[in-house]
Structure 1
Amino acid sequence: MVLSAFSAPGRFWRGNLHTHSNLSDGCLAPVEVCRRYKAEGYDFISLTDHFIGFYGYPIAETKTFRDDRFTTIPGAELHSGAMENGELWHILAVGLPEDFAPPNAPGFHAVEGQETGPELAQRARDAGAFVSIAHPHWSGLTLADARSITAAHSVEIYNHGCAIGCDREGGGHVLDLLLSEGRDLTIIATDDAHFTEPDHFGGWVMVKAEANEPDLLLSALKRGDFYSSQGPEIRGITVDESAVHVESTAVSSIILQGKGQAATAIHGTSMTRGRVPLDRFRNSPWLRVTVVDAAGKRAWSNPFRLEG
């Protein structure tokens, strides 16, 4: 079995799915945000400003910034209802229609009678968006909170802005618990850039599609034909009866993770391929791969299940 991201037709396109402009709480105009990502070699971004009344419920118009080298996918960071800690939900919606009806979310606080976070996430998915649970650690997300977002396609495993700003970058624990309960979820790494601190160009997705076009990229995201990275490239993942075989750019660790305590790592110097045995994973319903380079930068495969 070859993971679909490495067998699907097309090539990989580098993109950021979580970024803000001065339409909400970022400090740069949308045109400058797009210019900077394009200048850094990104193929696409989704500009996901905060979709609340305080900012006029913005969905940034970015079509005019597209050209033959760079494209954009409309999106927003949605807010409505309280999590268990009483704070407002943050739900990422990439591919959100420009006429998406706003919730009753006047500001960064929950108000009585407003749409719940799970309801808003479902409405966004029904409207065609790729829905992600944003920065679980930063949000103080509980497992009960995470369980309630049944419309989510993915979980942010790495949020660069949260790493830089408060050392709460991860979502791996929440992700693994949901996977172990039978949820099918993918993994995204993002910036959540506001350009008010060094919160940009630190985490991205590599999406496999036949062209750098918004609809094709969005469909590939929903299928799971991508991986996420801070730097390393994953070149291939193949599974046979006894092992998972990984090809990548030079890394120092290749780690296979599964349910509960199931994990196996191999270590070396400038490894570009590795074989991780499946001995510890016979009772694990899911697996995922992490590679780590000599600088400590990671790349993550999407979770997958053993055939049969």
Structure 2
Amino acid sequence: MSLSAFTQPGSFWRGNLHTHSNLSDGCLDPAEVCRRYKDEGYDFIALTDHFIGIYKYPLLDTSEFRSEGFTTLLGAELHSGAMENGELWHILAVGLPADFAPSNSPAFVPVDDQETGPEIAARARDAGAFITVAHPHWSGMTLADARSITAAHAVEIYNHGSEMGCDRGGGAHVLDLLLSEGRDLTLIATDDAHFTEPDHFGGWVMVKAPENDPDALLDALKNGAFYSTQGPELRNLTVDKKAVHVDCTSAVSVIVQGHGSGARAVHGHSMTRASVPLDRFYNSPWLRVTVLDASGKRAWSNPFPNPSF
């Protein structure tokens, strides 16, 4: 079995799905944000400013910033309702229509008579967006919170801004618990860039699509045809009943994770191919792969079924 990111026709396109401008709490105007990502070698970004009353619910049509070799997806970071800790939800929605209706969210404090987090996530998904549970560690999110967002396509496994700003950039624990409950989820790495600290160009997705077009990219995201990375490249990933086989750029560790304590790693020097046995995954219906390079940077596959289960 091969993952769709490595078998379907098309090319890999590099993109950041979580970005802020001075339309909310970022420090650069949208044109400059797009220029910097383009000049850094990105093929696309989603500008996802905070969709909240104090910023006048910004949902900018970024099509004017598209150019040869660079495109944009419309999106926002949605806020409505309270999590178990009493704080407002943060839900990433990429591919929103330009006329998506605001919630009753005047500021970063929950108020009466507003949608819950699960409700606004479901409304955004129904409108065509790719929905992600944003920075679960940074948010102080409980498993019950995460369970409630049944409209989610993905969980942020890495948020560069949260990592650099407060050492809370991860989301793997929440993701793995949801996978073990049978949820069908992918994972994304993002910047959450505000350009107010070193929060940019640190995590991205590589999306396999026939062209660098917003509709094609969004379809590929929803279909799981991508992987996420801080730098290492995944070249191919296949799995049979005995092992997971990974082709990648130079790595020191190739790790397979699964349900519970299930994990197995192969370590070496400058590895570009590794086969990880599946003998420890007898009770895991799902698997995923992490590749680690010599500088400590990671790449992550999306989860996939365990053929030996």
> What range is the shorter-chain TM-score in?
over 0.9
Q: 1:210-263 CA deviation, whole Å, 9 max, x = no partner?
A: 000000000000000000000000001001121000000000000000000000
1:93 aligns with 2:88: no
Q: State how 1:131-210 maps to structure 2 within 5 Å.
A: 131-210=131-210
Please give the secondary structure, in 1, of the residue aligned with 2:77.
strand
2:58 aligns with 58
Q: 1:94-135 CA deviation, whole Å, 9 max, x = no partner?
A: 001110010000000100121000000000000000000000
1:43 aligns with 43
Misfit runs of 4+, over 2 Å:
none
1:32 maps to amino acid: E
1:92 maps to amino acid: L
1:111 aligns with 111
2:81 maps to amino acid: G
2:291 aligns with 291
2:104 and 2:98 map into 1 onto residues whose CA distance is 17
2:241 and 2:11 map into 1 onto residues whose CA distance is 28
- Unaligned stretches of 5+ residues in structure 1: none
2:240 and 2:164 map into 1 onto residues whose CA distance is 39
Please give the secondary structure, in 2, of the residue aligned with 1:46.
strand
2:248 aligns with 248
1:255 maps to amino acid: I
1:147 and 1:31 map into 2 onto residues whose CA distance is 36
Offset, 1:68:
1.9
2:90 and 2:70 map into 1 onto residues whose CA distance is 27
1:80 aligns with 80
Q: TM-score, normalised by structure 2?
A: 0.99
1:278 and 1:265 map into 2 onto residues whose CA distance is 10
Identity, in percent, stands at 75
2:304 aligns with 304
1:229 and 1:110 map into 2 onto residues whose CA distance is 34
2:71 aligns with 71
2:43 maps to amino acid: D
Offset, 1:306:
2.5
1:288 and 1:306 map into 2 onto residues whose CA distance is 9
Please give the secondary structure, in 2, of the residue aligned with 1:12.
strand
Q: 1:239-297 CA deviation, whole Å, 9 max, x = no partner?
A: 11210000000000000000000000010000000000010112101000000000000
| CA RMSD, 1 decimal | 0.7
2:261 and 2:305 map into 1 onto residues whose CA distance is 17
| Aligned residue-pair number | 308
2:145 and 2:61 map into 1 onto residues whose CA distance is 32
Q: State how 1:26-41 maps to structure 2 within 5 Å.
A: 26-41=26-41
1:250 and 1:306 map into 2 onto residues whose CA distance is 25
Please give the secondary structure, in 2, of the residue aligned with 1:106.
coil
1:122 aligns with 122
- Unaligned stretches of 5+ residues in structure 2: none
1:257 aligns with 257
Q: 1:166-222 CA deviation, whole Å, 9 max, x = no partner?
A: 000000000000000000100000000000011000000000000000000000000
